[in-house]
Structure 1
């Protein structure tokens, strides 16, 4: 399922679900979407998450090799970006003036950004 956005006779879409594109390419994928602030935030998030998760794994699990902690830290950081990236991208489109064509999926836990159409009521 895709959520389509329109602005200036252009259409963009955001896929509902896990994004393998964001998992593997993270900030580069956001740059390709024209969302450079998200690309910068994604790069910072990946950097910080890598060190925090890697440090936590080294402290808690104490693996025999450092590469084990580094591998898990990279997989967890990239997995988080892949899982939440499309939701953040959709919010960014709306904040930058793109109008969603349909409502967001309920499992995204995002308040609907499209105002419901007013009911036809007669005042009198």
Structure 2
């Protein structure tokens, strides 16, 4: 069994009622090392985030790289280069559109237990662009 569990928790936050909430929970290791995260429609000027949970089970877990690409996506994390057994860390992936449009990116997490790629998508909208989740 691999010593890595990455959990994408349903932990979206919004400051404005226009933002769609994220959908889904993912647990890795899975059959695939590539996972899609769709942030949905987010009001321009607002943000939403997802938390990727990394856990070392019964042995230390080396994290050699955590990287993000794509316009309007950013991240923050508290992951060290090596997690001791039983410890965890968190990666927060943030989608904050500053203009209308569809955006893509990726989060890559390279570990000694495997490499994990999260394909990121999200759309920025304004009241005039007709987006939203109906909670306006």
TM-score (norm 1): 0.23
Decide which structure has greater helix share: 1
